[in-house]
Amino acid sequence: MAKIGENFIYELKNLCDIVSIIASYVELKSVGKSRKCLCPFHSEKTASMVVYEDTQSFYCFGCGVGGDVITFIEKIENLNYVDSVKFLAHRVGLSIPDDDLDDQISKKRQRILAMNRLAARFFYNNLKSRAGRIGLEYFQNRGLFLETITKFGLGYADDSWDSLKNYLHANGFFFEEMYDADLVIKSTKGTYYDKFRNRVMFPIIDAKSDVVGFGGRVLDESKPKYLNTSDTLAFKKSLGLYGLNFAKNAGLERFILCEGYMDVISMYQNGFRGCVAALGTALTQAQVRLISRHVDDIVILFDSDEAGALAMDRAYKMFLEVGISPRALRLKGAKDPDEYVKKYGSARLKLAIDQSISAIKVKIENIASKYNLNDPEQKKRYINEYCHVVSDILDPLEREVYVGQLCQSLKVAREIINNHVNYLLQKKRKICQKRLDKEISRNIYTKRMHKNVCSKYEKAERGIIRFLYNNPDYFDYISSKIDDSWFSSKLNKKIYNIICDRIKSNFALDFLLFHEILTTDEMGVFSKIVNEGKDFANTTQEIDDYMRLIREKYEKEAENISAMTLEQIEVRRKKYASGKR
């Protein structure tokens, strides 16, 4: 990890108040001396993320994510440590000294971006060559103008095993670097060959105008039809959006969410500048949050087939979870936006988009078309499905509006419908909690901190850590009474030693300065320890009790070890090394 000067971090900290930074992404509500919000890193309906102004940190009691302002930017912008510092520095107008930018991961990422730029140019030039005529004809047959092709940097990967590989190598890049960028594939024999072959190419450009990856469509009957760059240091397909580089700069208050690359390009060519699409995968919650940071007005415009209807249904629920009620448009007389424009023109499509209705209304209309409301049994099923849709709405006022419409149209008592909606809400919350518990169980640190099932010994260790962090003048007193070998948790021992080393070196114990030593997950645990004062020692009497407790545990374990065989000791050593206690 890069070593960025502490003086610069101090300056950055003074300018980057964590409350204002996080408030620019999510809505914060005051709770005592802290702020609370819906966590942007997992789906939830009850706010569980707390922002602590006094320690300039945050912690989510739902998923266990926590840390400082840099951790937050790392997570929400999908950046590494150095790029997060750069992001914050740019935001507040600070320049990072060149001596502070020696970071191997950042350099590796820059090499990948440089390769991607060259690869995009290579594919684009191929499209204009004789060998790339087949690719150019494909785009022209889809109705794209040369101006549009150039605007999106579209290209062609020829039917060769090594043309891109050789081109990049001639420009100073190594095969292993190309493999890290997912531009070549490594065979079982250790040789490398081009990943994209005989495909029209769609460069994926992020909001900063960097080419971060590629999508390639096959021109024959081979599979898969679309091949996309896998996740790299420069690219996370679940976190980005195709077309965002154009949409965010269009100055519009509305985005149109399309299904694929060609939809975005065709719409752009026909005058619709605010179009985006997922990157070769189903829409993710992170992509929904990314859209919501730019606009509040979203129109979902997916294909008119059954798959498009299912995708629309899933997308609108995800937008509801971030507090946005999207609109939706089901095209009639065409399978997708491209075909609709060719048949009816862009003016008619614009009118249809402007007149699009709430995605919830679309869903309800689709439900109504399935049932005969004159049949009591079908009427009951319609009401039940209607209530399921309403129970997805987070806004209580909006829920009441739809409940009222149902009651009025079917002459059903409001109390009955409200009771059923509330029942469904409780049921869904239980399901969400079970899903959350499963997510939490995948991370040992998160699981222990969230569930508070850590042993009394680990709690004692954390109490010592928090006390020492807040009372460094007690270092001599504490260090004279305990030894770090008494710690049962490897992470607690690591944090304790970092604090001790900083105190011995007369360095400040500022939370922000631990980020270069602890991982992002470890920062989350540290944030929990630092901020949850009620769970840990605050007096010398409590700290004495904690130190006595971990000493007694250590002495008891030492007695047990003395009675073990060499084989048993080796098994125990391996178990400890693996982190299984």
The domain limits of the chain are 6-100, 105-228, 244-363, 370-441, 448-577
CB < 8 Å & 24+ apart, contacts of 362-365: 362/312, 362/328, 362/330, 363/313, 363/316, 363/328, 363/389, 364/389, 364/402
Say if residue 449's pLDDT is above 50: no
pTM, to two decimals:
0.66
Average pLDDT, the chain: 84
Model confidence at 99, pLDDT cuts 50, 70, 90, reads low
Count of beta carbons in the 10 Å neighbourhood of residue 446 = 22
Model confidence at 125, pLDDT cuts 50, 70, 90, reads very high
Q: Is the domain defined by 448-577 classed in CATH 1.10.3720.10?
A: no
Higher pLDDT, 423 or 509: 423
Could you tell me which of 398, 276, 269 has the C-alpha nearest to residue 338?
269
Query: Which residue type does 312 have?
Result: M
Residue 570 pLDDT: 56
Residue 436 pLDDT: 54
Q: Are 237 and 231 in contact (CB under 8 A)?
A: yes
Per cent of the chain over pLDDT 70 is: 88
206 contacts: CB under 8 Å, gap ≥ 6? 212, 240, 244, 245
Residue 249 pLDDT: 85
Model confidence at 396, pLDDT cuts 50, 70, 90, reads confident
Buried b (16+ CB within 10 A) or exposed e, 264-283: bbbbbbbebebbbbbbbeeb
Say if residue 408's pLDDT is above 60: yes
Say if residue 6's pLDDT is above 80: no
Average pLDDT over residues 247-265: 91
Rounded to an integer, what distance in angstroms lies between the CA atom of residue 123 and that of residue 71? 37
Could you tell me which of 414, 555, 415, 416 has the C-alpha nearest to residue 483?
555
The values of phi and psi at residue 339, to 5°, are -65, -35
Predicted confidence (pLDDT) per residue in 176-207, tens digit: 999 999 999 999 888 999 999 999 999 999 88
Model confidence at 451, pLDDT cuts 50, 70, 90, reads very low
User: What's the CA angle centered on 82, arms 76 and 88, to 5 degrees?
Assistant: 60
Average pLDDT over residues 250-268: 92
Per cent of the chain over pLDDT 90 is: 31
Rounded to an integer, what distance in angstroms lies between the CA atom of residue 420 and that of residue 51? 35
Say if residue 163's pLDDT is above 90: yes
Lowest-confidence segment of 210-224, 233-247, 539-553 by average pLDDT: 539-553
Q: Are 46 and 28 in contact (CB under 8 A)?
A: no
Predicted confidence (pLDDT) per residue in 452-480, tens digit: 446 788 888 888 888 888 888 888 888 88
DSSP 189: T
What top-level class would CATH report for the domain 105-228? alpha beta
Residue 55 pLDDT: 81
Say if residue 208's pLDDT is above 70: yes
Q: Where are the alpha helices (DSSP H) in 226-335?
A: 244-247, 261-269, 285-292, 306-321
Q: Which of 144-158, 216-230, 297-311 has the highest mean pLDDT?
A: 144-158
- CATH homologous superfamily for the domain 6-100: Zinc finger, CHC2-typedomain (3.90.580.10)
Q: Are 217 and 199 in contact (CB under 8 A)?
A: yes
Residue 442 pLDDT: 46
User: Which tokens hold the place of 248?
Assistant: 């965010």
Q: Are 302 and 259 in contact (CB under 8 A)?
A: yes
End-to-end CA distance of the chain: 29
CATH topology of domain 244-363: Dna Topoisomerase Vi A Subunit; Chain: A, domain 2 (3.40.1360)
Residue 438 pLDDT: 56
Omega before residue 224 within 30° of 0, cis? yes
